[in-house]
Amino acid sequence: MPLWIPITIAAAFLQNLRSALQRQLAQDLTATSATYVRFLFGLPVALLYLWVLLATSDVRLPAPSAEFYVYAALGGVAQIVGTVLLVALFAHRNFVVGTTYSKTETVQTALFGIFVFGESITLGAGIGIAISLVGVIAISMARTEASPSALITSFTERAALMGLGSGAAYGVAAVCYRAGSLSLGMDGFLVPAAVTLAVVLTIQTLLMTGWLLWKDRTSLMATLKNWPASLAIGVAGALGSIGWFTAMTLQNAAYVRALGQIELVFTFAVSWFWFREQANAKEIAGVLLIIGGLVVLVLGT
């Protein structure tokens, strides 16, 4: 089994954990400050991880080019935008439509990779991405009265546009992170991925700290006051990001983000087996489509 597959699955599990913690914290914080905690408290974890890698190997830190910093900054800002939009959707009246549209991230990642960076995807992988996307949409709409036609007609609503924007921002971030890691020109994959993550989190933390100091010091203080919950989010987010960055250094970002949709299967399994929640036919069909699509994806790469 290619190494990027188990790394991606582990990253998706950790992202599921981080999202659950972040949703809970979002009740006490603004969307911006709830986003901020994953960067502020994740940065020390990323720096410690990079230090351990360098201390236990003969690899020396590279001298990144200007191209690397452009990719890191663009990806970092795009991820901030995507996360703020997604967290803000939780409080939106029509959030289901928005979050459903945000799931188009995998398709948008593939398109950005193809048209901007000249990457390609195989026919089999493309079919797998499409199948799993249908499954994701089925799960997102399973407990609502909205029909597929209503989803299409709501395309221009604010929630839908926010969801599409979130998916596009995440797609840009994923492609930029892979391009940044590869631009370092290093042998191996652990150190370039760790360097990219450390630089991105530093940029994100500095930008958001400055923004909150300027615009919303109350939210900044609330973030620090809720430090135990914030720390848990930061650690889970940083560990997940280590997995994402490593996997995207090894493999096409579109494949990694598509396989990462297994996160929804984890969410479904927890609600079904742990909380004993009943699943309806649409949810079961959606899970089966996601699993089937991911199998096609892995076999088609």
- Each residue's pLDDT, cut to its tens digit, for the chain (301 residues) gives 789 999 999 999 888 788 777 766 666 677 677 778 888 999 999 999 999 999 988 888 778 899 999 999 999 999 989 888 877 776 655 555 666 677 778 888 888 888 777 778 888 888 988 898 888 777 766 666 655 655 555 556 677 788 888 889 999 999 999 999 999 988 889 999 999 999 999 999 999 999 888 888 887 887 778 778 788 888 988 999 999 999 999 999 889 988 988 887 877 776 666 656 666 777 788 888 888 988 898 887 7
- On the 0-12 / 13-18 / 19+ scale of CB atoms within 10 A, 177 is buried
> Are the C-beta atoms of 260 and 130 separated by less than 8 Å?
no
Within 8 A by CB and 6+ apart from 88, the residues are 31, 162
Please provide the distance, in angstroms rounded to a whole number, between the alpha carbons at the two ends of the chain.
12
Give burial (CB, 10 Å; 0-12/13-18/19+) of 287: buried
What's the pLDDT at 105?
Answer: 83
| pLDDT of amino acid 250 | 92
Task: Look at residue 276 in the predicted model and tell me its pLDDT.
Answer: 63
In tens, the pLDDT along 173-209 reads: 999 999 999 999 888 899 999 999 999 999 999 999 9
Residues in the chain: 301
Rg, Å, the chain Cα set = 19
Could you tell me if 141 and 96 are in contact, meaning their C-beta atoms sit under 8 angstroms apart? Answer: yes
- Looking at residue 247, its pLDDT comes to 95
Neighbouring CB atoms inside 10 A of 213's CB total: 10
- What is the domain extent for residue 18? 4-56+63-300
Number of folded domains that form the chain: 1
